[in-house]
Every structure is written in C-alpha cells, then in structure tokens.
C-alpha cells in the first residue's frame, strides 16, 4: 500500500479534546458514508423476511469477511496517525456503526467503490473526541473495543458501560482490570468508564476468564505500552490471530497469538498498513447448516475450513459429508441426520455463535440432542420461537434438550439477537409453508445480504420493508 509519509509521533493534546463529546460537536466535515448511514438509520426501516420452505439449496455462495475480525481491526486504526487500509470488510450494520463511531471521534473513513467496495481506509490522524457514547455502545457492545486503543494513543478514553444484553450480562470488568494492570487510572461514573494514563506500561495479565474482545482490547493497548506485557489465559479465536497479524504489520511486536499466552513488547509508535480480513467462520457455518438441512449441494467459496474444525467434526458425527479444500467447502447431504450432543466452548471448541443454528439442525436429527451453552447464560431465546414452529425443545438452565425429528411448520416469529435470527431463517427454509420473520435488523448486523445469497442458490426468500417511526425501529438489545 501507499502509506503517507511518516510524521513525527503525534499524540493529540488532551487540552484540545472535546469531552464529553456528542455527534453534534464534531469539529470537522463528516464523510459521505456517515451522512448516508445516519439517513438510513433515521428512515427506521423495520424489515421482515418472508420465507417459503422446502427448496433444496444448490449452487455456490461466496463468504464475506468476518464481522468479528473487522471490528477490532477498525479499532486498531486508532493506534496510528497513518492510514490503515482494510480489505474484505463485510457490508453489515455493525461495521456501519463502528465507522460512525470512528468518525464521531474525528477519524476520516473512506469507502472503496465497485470492485473495491469491501475496502475501507481509516485515518485517525486528527482524533479529537476519545469517546464512545451510550447511544452507540447500547446498539453495539463491540464499541468498547476502542477503550484500550484510545488510552494507548491519546492517553484518555471515555466509553459508556455497555449494560446487559439479550444473551447475557456480558460485563467488561476484565478489560478494565487489564488496563489497570497496564497502569491506567479508571474512574466509573454516570454510566461511563473514564480511563487515563500518561503512557501505559507493560504488565502481567492473567485473565480470570477467557474473553475474546478483552484479549483484543488489551493486545492493542499493550502494543503501545512501555515495556513487555505478558497475557495468560488469552482467547485463541481466529479473530484474535487476525488482529495480531494486522498489528504486526503496523509495527507491533507480538508473539503467541492463537495460544493461551501472549508476549507483547510495546513500541513507541505504530504505522499504517494494509490488511485483508479473514473470512467469516460463523457465516460459513450458517450456510453449511442451510445446505445440510435442505438436503442440498452447496459450495462455499472464500472461506477457511480450518476455522470450523469443531463444527465439521460434529456434523460428521450427525452423518453429514463435507469436502474441504484450502479456501472452499462442498456440503452434500441426502441422508437422515443422527442426533449428537453439543457443548459450546471457547475456540477451538464448538462456537457459541453456532449454537442457535445447530439447535435448528437438531430438530431435524433423529434422536435426542443435548445442547449445553457454557459461554453465555441466556442464549436460548430462539428455543421458544423454534418451539412455535413445532420443535420439541425443553430448556433447563444452561441445557436445551431437543427431541427430533419433528416437522416444522410456518409461523410468524421474531428475532431476538443476531445468531438466534439465523436459526429462524434456517428453520423457515425447511418449514412447511410461509414463515414471516420479524426484526431482521438483528440479522443485518452481522450477515451480508443473506436473503440475496440464499436466493441465488434456490431459496424462496424475500425482504419486505415497513417504515416505522424511528423510535420504534431502534433496537433496544444488543449482542
């Protein structure tokens, strides 16, 4: 990439920072992107999907870039005053939210056009407002990923506490404790976390619990800290490894990403870089299950089967046949599925983000499947909606007992969070009749044009829009 000439290390003068900030306090012109995003939001589009089940899915689908890898990568741009170019960014609502957040801080965010439409260039040269306001954080918890980078680069951050969410309490205490270990002073009042540090210094962090965004947040902070940071009990997800790859391209000194222990030698400054985001393993897994359920023959391209080991193994246990190459997968299934139990775990275990979709599959398998959710305490909201479509599911605390095979029948159902929505789309693809799925803004947060992709391989799915007053359309729960 063409990186702009290196300027001397720039640390914005805290005296010039706008705190507390609001979108209206921006001191610079906003980009075209931001304006169109705001316009789209204020339209208050409350879409539904109408899906007629029963079609086999046959053909090929190109997998988009990973939402959960793109979000921390965008936050990493805060760490440098040079442009960071990110390719394979998915066109989903959460990415728009993060662009808006970065712009509200003073970043310039440029979108690619045409063939480069999945490229985003972020320049955080003139950050003025190190704040993630409640209005943004309440719609997307991953906004808290800016906390570490802001303190590391600007010496100061003000980030709203995320509060509860549809799938569990999801505190961010481990991000905060970790930053304190790196020397930050943290104040929590009026629903905000205010963190400050002249310069972070390396430290030893042992995570009480494995946390994906916590590992990412602190990895970014430690990259600009003075001295060495050792982090133990780290998340090993592919998204963590992808972020480390970007940071290393930016000049960070990181060892051990993808293992439980990471060592980071802090550097004085980071520079611009160009990076391609990894494929979305959860989108891939969702389409794998769509192929299995419909007895189809699907080829998924631009994906990474190595990131889906636990799911592939589980599906093989259910009797599914999958052929994988380095960057594609072919799924064919004409057999009766056999029930198999699933326990969600951190990577490389079975992902919690595939639990809802697997539950739909379990309704079509012969026998009893016990699904245990170990990561989030309240991630079975889809069970009630699936039951309304005829599934036999009993939820007992963190366990769901699914008895199959049951025929599913169409119903009007409602999305409660991103992955729950995906499970309902999957159920509708095999249900008898026409299912109407409400609140698909949840699915738009993380799946790029899912209805177009499904339609292209034979699904009968259409989106219908309904214009409601903005207040009614804004999601009140986040995932």
Residues assigned a catalytic role: 165
| 93, 156, 170, 181: residue in contact with ligand EPU (rule CB under 6 A) | 170
- When binding is defined by CB under 6 A, the residue of 419, 439, 442, 453 that contacts ligand EPU is 419
In order, the DSSP letters of 381-438 are HHHHHHHHTT-EEEEETTEEEEEE----B--EEE--SHHHHHHHHHHHHHSBSEEEEE
Selected binder of ligand EPU within 213, 299, 364, 410 (CB under 6 A): 213
* By CB under 6 A, residue 426 contacts ligand EPU: no
Residue among 423 and 435 whose Cβ is closer to ligand EPU = 423
- Residue among 210 and 430 whose Cβ is closer to ligand EPU: 210
Q: By CB under 6 A, name the one of 175, 275, 382, 439 that touches ligand EPU.
A: 175
With a CB cutoff of 8 Å and minimum separation 6, the contacts of 24 are none
User: Can you tell me which of 143, 352, 357, 435 binds ligand EPU, judged by CB under 6 A?
Assistant: 352
Binding mask 370-409 for ligand EPU (x = CB under 6 A): -----xx---------------------------------
Q: Which region, judged by CB under 6 A, interacts with ligand EPU, from 163-171, 198-206, 433-441, 454-462?
A: 163-171
- What H or E segment, with its residue span, contains residue 76? helix 67-76
Residue number with CB closer to ligand EPU (106 or 214) = 214
Contact status: 171 vs ligand EPU (CB under 6 A): yes
Judge contact between 426 and 461, C-beta under 8 A. no
Of residues 437 through 476, those in contact with ligand EPU by CB under 6 A are: 446
Residue 42 burial class via C-beta count within 10 angstroms: exposed 0-12, middle 13-18, buried 19 and up: exposed
CB of 344 to ligand EPU, least distance (A): 8
Size of interface with ligand EPU, in residues (CB under 6 A) = 27
Smallest Cα–Cα separation from 358: which of 375, 383, 325, 394?
A: 383
Backbone angles phi, psi at 331, to 5 degrees: -120, 125
Bridge partners (DSSP) listed for residue 392: 403
* Closer CB to ligand EPU, 11 or 209, in the complex: 209
Enter the tokens of residue 360.
């739909």
Residue 296, classed as helix, strand or coil, is coil
Burial degree of 16 (CB within 10 A; 0-12, 13-18, 19+): exposed
User: Least distance to ligand EPU from the beta carbon of 33, Å?
Assistant: 20
3 state DSSP class of 297: strand
Please report how close the Cβ of residue 131 comes to ligand EPU at its closest, in angstroms.
20
- Residue 358 binds ligand EPU (CB under 6 A): no
Looking at 11, 209, 462, 470, which residue binds ligand EPU (CB under 6 A)? 209
CA 436 to CA 413: how far, in whole Å? 6
Alpha carbons 81 and 346: distance in angstroms, whole number = 34
Binding site for ligand EPU (CB under 6 A): 68, 71, 141-142, 168-175, 209, 211-214, 235, 239, 352-353, 375-376, 418-419, 446, 479
């Amino acid at each position: 990439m063409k990186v702009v000439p290196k300027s001397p290390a720039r640390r914005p003068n805290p005296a010039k920072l706008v705190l507390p900030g609001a979108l209206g306090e921006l001191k610079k012109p906003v980009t075209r992107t931001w304006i169109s995003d705001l316009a789209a939001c204020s339209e208050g589009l409350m879409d539904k999907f109408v899906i007629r089940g029963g079609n086999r899915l046959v053909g090929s689908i190109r997998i988009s870039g990973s939402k959960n890898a793109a979000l921390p990568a965008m936050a990493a741009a805060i760490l440098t005053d040079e442009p960071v170019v990110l390719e394979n960014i998915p066109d989903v609502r959460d990415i728009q939210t993060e662009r808006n957040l970065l712009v509200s801080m003073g970043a310039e965010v440029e979108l690619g056009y045409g063939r480069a439409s999945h490229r985003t260039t972020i320049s955080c040269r003139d950050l003025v407002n190190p704040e993630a306001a409640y209005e943004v954080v309440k719609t997307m918890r991953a906004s808290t990923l800016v906390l570490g980078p802001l303190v590391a680069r600007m010496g100061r951050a003000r980030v709203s506490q995320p509060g509860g969410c549809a799938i569990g309490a999801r505190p961010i205490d481990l991000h905060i404790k970790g930053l304190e270990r790196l020397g930050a002073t943290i104040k929590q009042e009026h629903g905000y976390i205010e963190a400050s540090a002249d310069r972070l210094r390396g430290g030893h962090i042992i995570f009480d619990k494995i946390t994906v965004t916590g590992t990412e947040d602190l990895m970014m902070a430690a990259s600009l800290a003075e001295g060495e940071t050792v982090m133990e009990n780290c998340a090993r997800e592919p998204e963590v490894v992808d972020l480390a790859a970007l940071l290393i391209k930016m000049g960070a000194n990181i060892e051990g990403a993808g293992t439980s222990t990471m060592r980071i030698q802090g550097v004085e400054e980071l520079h611009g870089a160009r990076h391609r985001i990894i494929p979305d393993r959860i989108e891939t897994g969702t389409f794998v299950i769509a192929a299995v359920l419909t007895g189809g023959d699907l080829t998924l391209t631009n994906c990474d089967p190595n990131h889906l080991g636990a799911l592939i193994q589980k599906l093989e246990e259910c009797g599914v046949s999958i052929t994988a190459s380095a960057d594609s997968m072919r799924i064919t299934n004409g057999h009766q599925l056999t029930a198999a139990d699933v326990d969600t775990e951190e990577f490389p275990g079975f992902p919690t983000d595939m639990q809802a979709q697997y539950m739909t599959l379990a309704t079509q398998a012969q026998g009893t499947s016990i699904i245990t959710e170990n990561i989030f305490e309240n991630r079975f909201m889809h069970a009630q909606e699936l039951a309304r479509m005829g599934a036999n599911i009993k939820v007992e605390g963190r366990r769901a007992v699914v008895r199959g095979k049951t025929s599913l029948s169409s119903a009007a159902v409602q999305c409660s969070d991103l992955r729950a929505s995906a499970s309902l789309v999957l159920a509708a693809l095999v249900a008898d009749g026409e299912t109407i799925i409400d609140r698909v803004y949840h699915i738009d947060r993380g799946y790029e044009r899912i209805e177009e992709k499904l339609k292209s391989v034979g699904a009968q799915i259409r989106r219908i829009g309904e214009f409601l007053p903005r207040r009614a359309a804004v999601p009140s729960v986040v995932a």
